[in-house]
A and B are shown apart, each in its own frame.
Chain A
């Protein structure tokens, strides 16, 4: 005990890569290292130049995959243990830089949800976000605001209240009739500048991702894409969880030194909150200062896919496909009915095309179209490899086949073993009855 000399240097160890953990994130460790002791191999993994490493743990901290660790020799471990016994850990807090940062961040308050609309029609994901936003705002003890931008869209503010917003910012001018990045960008940035929210959420839709990416760049803050999970950590920071690497991994992303924390959120992931009729709140009207004359882009047409006569299997979001098990051309009506309920299109295996039941442009597979819909329903298709290669990247595959050993079940996420002539009409019927029961997205009275 008495042997411990004052001034013994605290050993710092050396960084080491943990086998198999690196995800080749692009060299965060390399760029974090102050002494260039990290070099990237051809496969994108770090190699630590041990002689150079000073054990500063910067790389360990930045590694998103916890693939780096610091190792000590036996001797060093012994010294460390001794040091630990001698002195309690000295607190790291109280550093002036950190305090300044905290003060800067504290200036931003409140959770915002951008209410996306096309021609006055709100996107459902906005209400899903309202539900999640409510939860986050309650955790933080701050208000939840809806951001409504458009032309003649005041009504949406009241919908927002029904879904949980405390207040709404409204920018309602003719220039916002159609979504245009330049116009919406200016409006949102002006709002953020003036009202300084700490969290801004948008739907990860085509529109939302277009807008969010631009806003975050102007505001100069971090943006997390396509989140499937949101939460608040013990320092009031937003924890944003999202899939990456084609859905093979999940990552939790932080933006703890910048405000607002922005995220786009994947539709259909957060539950739709209960709509409480008759709620209200303050509507804060804001002038955008955006002038039509300054606009460069013109929206010439917006065409709903339902009105398009040409069926495009390759780009469809919902596909109901039929194979030889359909037994005849006339039976494809069954699939069309189901597809109509889903808002999708009908595809086919090559056998069905060869039999003349469907035209070749509906063929999915090796010598047909490659499709990546949200849901692919294979009816009476055995799942030959030539078919599978055309649809296996679909988000969700459902197989309906009476042969439990059909290879299609090997790739299907959900399956029904049974006669498609019984199952498919039952699916359609169930969807229809649910739709009838589902409450209309009626306008809530502005009370």
Chain B
């Protein structure tokens, strides 16, 4: 059985800053990293590999330099790494992205049956959390989002039980394979690569698939296949630290002011 993880290379958004003068994004020198949620997806796939000996393939759609991201996955122990890279894939929204990714998974499935696809809950750049459901729906896999624990996995029966983390509650769901999971950070603690694996991965090759391999209709991928487009980008109003009321002279008054502020800004619900 093959386990597929989808990982995306993203700019390290914690390092993104807004230029206070021009009010634009300062991206200079900001490194690309593996989407943090995807490191947890990868870890879960590798745990399945450790436990059951499944093969793990990592796929990523992105520019040629996203190869670095896949090399990291190789250093951690994935068996196969595929970069989906083509001019024609560029500018995709989630609909077009999930079309390319699911086609790639389908291609892999033709070589070896795919049992589980694992995605991060969302990325830290696009932030949409839509690609996972998109892939699952296209492939007709059962979609289990926001997984924070794999309760039971029985590869012989082909069933999996997971716990999902929702607002104020947790839900335990059972489903037959194939499934697509999107995972949250609480699921596991990603492993650290050993040096021999790092060195090995420097030699390992990342396969690159372009649309030559996937043969998707140009109108369904990339910019053309994307119903949504970004018409404008601007900087948000930044909240500056604010001291509320006079907590020394009138603590109760300051407390009231604070609560009312939270409620009026809809940060708190009473």
Mark A residues whose CB is within 8 Å of B: 20-32, 36, 40, 42-44, 62, 64-66, 118, 123-124, 178, 180-182, 185, 205-207, 209-210, 212-214, 216-218, 220-226, 239, 242-255, 257-258, 268-269, 271-272, 296-306, 308, 312, 314-315, 317, 342-343, 374-375, 393, 396, 398, 400, 402, 404, 409-419, 422-424, 426-427, 429-431, 434-435, 438
Contacts and interface: CB of A to CB of B under 8 A. Distances in A.
A-B pairs with lowest CB-CB distance, top 5: A418-B247, A213-B133, A64-B230, A222-B227, A426-B255
B39 interface: no
A415 B243 CA distance: 5
Interface stretch (B46-54, B110-118, B143-151, B200-208): B143-151
B223 interface: yes
Contact of B229 (A64, A418, A427, A431): A64
A362 to B, nearest CB: 16
Interface in B68-112: 87-95, 98
A290 B29 CA distance: 52
B127 A254 contact: no
Given A36-B87, A426-B255, 8 more contacts: A44-B32, A218-B137, A249-B235, A254-B228, A302-B171, A303-B169, A402-B248, A417-B248
Given A31-B222, A217-B98, A243-B127, A66 B233 contact: yes
A407 B43 CA distance: 36
B20 interface: no
A243 B236 contact: yes
Contacts of A212: 130, 133
Interface residues of B, number: 102
Contact of B165 (A206, A239, A246): A206
B195 interface: no
Given A31-B90, A206-B167, A222-B93, A252 B230 contact: yes
B127 A244 contact: yes
B142 A213 contact: no
Interface on chain A toward B: helix, strand, loop, or mixed SS?
mixed
Given A419-B247, A422-B251, A225 B232 contact: no
Contacts of B93: 222
B146 A210 contact: yes
16 contacts: A24-B27, A65-B230, A66-B233, A213-B94, A213-B134, A220-B95, A223-B94, A226-B127, A245-B127, A251-B232, A255-B227, A268-B267, A299-B173, A342-B268, A414-B243, A417-B248
A182 B235 CA distance: 38
B108 to A, nearest CB: 20
Given A253-B228, A434-B259, A248 B145 contact: no
Interface in B120-176: 124-134, 136-138, 142-146, 148, 161, 164-176
Contact of A415 (B22, B142, B242): B242
B145 A427 contact: no
Contact of B255 (A29, A44, A416): A416
Contacts of B214: none
Contacts of A424: 255
A239 to B, nearest CB: 8
Contact of B247 (A185, A216, A400): A400
B251 to A, nearest CB: 4
B226 interface: yes
A444 to B, nearest CB: 20
A345 to B, nearest CB: 12
